[in-house]
Structure 1
Amino acid sequence: MTTDRIKLLSAYTVLALTLLAVVGMLVSLFLGRSMVERYAPLTTAVMEFKYEVTLGHLWYEEAISGDRYINPEEISRHFDRAEWYARTMLSGGEGVNGRIIPLDVAELREQIEKTLLDLQQFRQIASERWLQQHSSGIGTEIDQQFDGIFSNLLQSANDVETALRQEMAKRLSRFRTVQVLLILGIGATGAFLTFLLKNHEQRRIHFLQQLQEQDTQLRKLRNYLASVIDSMPSVLIGIDSQQTITQWNLSAEQAFDVSAEEVIGKPLAEVCPHLATEAEWIGLAFERKEQQLIPKRARLKQKDLCFEDISIYPLIDEGIEGAVIRVDDITERVRLEEAMVHSEKMLSIGGLAAGMAHEINNPLAGILQTVSVLDNRLLGPLPANEKAAKAAGTSMTALRDYMQARDIPNMLGSIKTSGARAAEIVHNMLKFAVKGGTHSSQDINKLLEKTVELAQNDFDLKKKFDFRQARIVREYGEGLPLVPCSSSMIQQVLLNILRNGAEAMWEVPDRESCFVLRTHLDKAKKQVCVQIEDNGSGMDEETCKRIFEPFFTTKPVGSGTGLGLSVSYFIIVESHKGELSVQSTPGEGSCFQICLPIG
């Protein structure tokens, strides 16, 4: 080892020993000060106790002897202060020379409690002597009791003071022992440091090597943490107490289309004006040092309404002032929640629909039956009709001529038609409320083709549109698994959507009507999906939100009941545990998607 290194080690040794000596002195001073802070106020309290008691006794003697007039309440205040000092020694408090720390020595506490009892006894005898001051002169029995109890009280106070001083002597002895041990410890530590410092250079070199390795690991860890932050889907923005941007992750770059290098050091209000409007929440997070959550905050993003959850996390480590703002796009979740609420509303209407349907069905059956009987008795070629007409002095021919002239057959026909339409509404409502239908494995492509054929045969010249004139583009998936479902119920849904699509395309007469039918397998959800797309008039966003509500319709009064799509929704979602959704653009058309589970 070179001379310079020896000098360096010697200097280190001297420095270490000096530091140890200083530490020892500080510890010694601390212990000594602690002892003084504990016992000095206690000693003062004992002396004040004796002073207040003695002064009270003296004033009693002077007042009773008539040497001076003193208000008994003033004398009593001395005894009150004496009692306060005694109790403060037991429970602690602020004294004349500082804070009095409660005694933790059991014997001392017992002596103080005995002194308190003596003080109470003295105060009692003092009160009695005051009341008998005209007959309690020197030498009387109560005067002797008064002096005797006072002597006992002073003796108790002296005993407390003596015990307190003895306890202080014990503590002082312990303190000196600690000082000796500290000196010995410093010497032993110095010798030990001298031995350890001989190998310091080798450890220092080893430490530097470890430091380099740790620095390398730290850089790797920093890069790893940066990668973790950048890989998070949430927008993370770090700001300081002045709301200046200090951190900007990859999601933030993608959301705001600006790189971290461009925004670091810039004010938040300049880069993200819509977040700067939350300055009150940011200030609240700084003030309370608590997370602040701003849920479901709506804003326009490229003319589209989106929803965001904004969380503000204050940095509460010492020496660090700032916060992390986390922004999560919850637009899809909000839409899903709205869809769930809508689904619950659809399911809850079933009981109402069933009750209404049954209530309507009974009088409707009577109306239809009565109309049928009227038709038979007025227009039917029955012998009983001829007989009744003849008995009335007329004939069925004359009666029919009269009814034709008054258009009664058409009226009866209108009643029948209206009744049949009402019966169809009741039928749909009952289907809406009842989960019926036997499920069996079905080929969705074949089922869709059968429904198309049914739709082509169903439309006739009385309708305002002709399904057969629409061009149909088929994009069927191959090898689709069979779907467990009720074929009649699924056909009802498909037919309803096809009818609505044909009506929507009829509203755009200057465009060739075209259906696009698609089927495919969604492996992730284990569902077979059917898409029915038309190029009709389309729907706005508000209509799309309500399209599956019962009795909601955009058709003129008398042209639609508003139950078709709500029944369809119930069939798919409730009866088949599937999904039914729609996407539409006004003026371009609509696309309904049905997804059915395959197992």
Structure 2
Amino acid sequence: MAKNQSIKKTLLRSAYSSLVLLLVVLSLSSAYASPISYFKEDGRTNWQYIANFSSGVLIILLSCTAISLFFSSRKTKKANRALREIREALEQRVQERTATLAESNQRLLDEVEKHKKTSERLLASETYIKNILASMPSMLVGLNSHMQITQWNVCAEEITGISADKVLGKDLWDAYPAVTLSRQQIEEVINEQKPATIKHNQRGQYYFDITIYPLKDHSEAGVVILIDNVTQRSIAENKLIQRDKMSSMGELAASMAHDIDTPLQAIFKDLQSIQKAINPSDPALAADLNDAIDKANQASQIIRNLLEFAHSNDRKKRPENLTELIDHTLELAGNAFSDPSGLHFKDIVIEREYQADLPAIPCYKTELQQVFLSLFRHACHALASSDRNDTPTIKIKLLTCYDSLWLKIQHNGLGLTGKEQHEIFEPFFHDRINPKSTEAENRLSFSQFIIVEHHQGHIFVTSDVDVGTTFHIEFQLPQK
């Protein structure tokens, strides 16, 4: 289209030039004659001359046109050649650009595919981690450096009763005030970048191992708190330990009884022989011998009780009548317990108040006997420590209430302070500064363990320093 327009413009320019040339010729001819006279001869029109003139002019015009067309054609070819070169260059650039775009598009598609696969792997990993956290039997809590909750798994929801959407982003102590950790403990872990383990328990109810892990290689400091409920494991371990203790105690009691009984029986026979050989007219000597024989009989009774304790140490619960068990334990205590101040357990007034027709309860007989002995020994020392003039008295009550059997052992000796009531069920340890407050008879941790862990009961104490102390023990009655 552009080429045709260029040719038309060239032809118009040629025709215009020829016309101008003709006008120039005619104007030159007018210098000698008028145009009309130029084509006449003898007063007549010279057609031949006109024809020749017109042919000449036409030839001139055609020659000029041909020349113009020749130069125009050359110019057009040159322009077309330049256009072809430009087009080829443009096509080359388009091809190169297209190839570059195709390569870029391919790289983009590859990156998109990689990103897609990476996203899928991240999603799968996130889902996998969420499933792990949800399936964990331990309570897991994540905290950032501001003590705000970032993780709260399903176990944490079940234990606390609080859903994750209500605690995420909140301060731990605002969201769950019952937590036993302190800010200082968590801050120490963050600052030191070392894990810390804390054991928390409520004796007889639950045991928890709390581990605090610091986050490492993270843009923001924080911790992960893992709380394991090890109640069943701890109970099983404690049972094994106590079983070993009871077995060892039985072996020790049997060994001691046999070792003591042999020389004691020899002493007893010697005393009887001396009693027969002495002069009956000496009443003082006879009284001393009778007293020695009575003491030997008491020692023999203690040995028989030790042997009975050792031989009855089995691991099967059997129904027992608590009234008979308590009376038998009182007999043992009367033969065994005395205080350095001179108070003997057999000198203490025992008041019994047993409900009629009490049901038997399944129990470990020797273990309960050990608990009762510990309580009576504690009462004996408390009564000996009292400076009141009241008659030393122990009151024992047995009664049923709903689906429980209650045992109350009360004495009017020196009562327990608030601190002593708090520590009495804690394990015994030796305190050089104040040894009296940590004497074995003032600690009943093993007794509490037997009642709570082995018999699923409860034991607690109420006391007043000026009035006395009462131990309360609850046993669950068997379901009918």
TM-score (norm 1): 0.37
Structure whose residues are more often helix by fraction: 1
- Highest CA radius of gyration, 1 or 2? 2
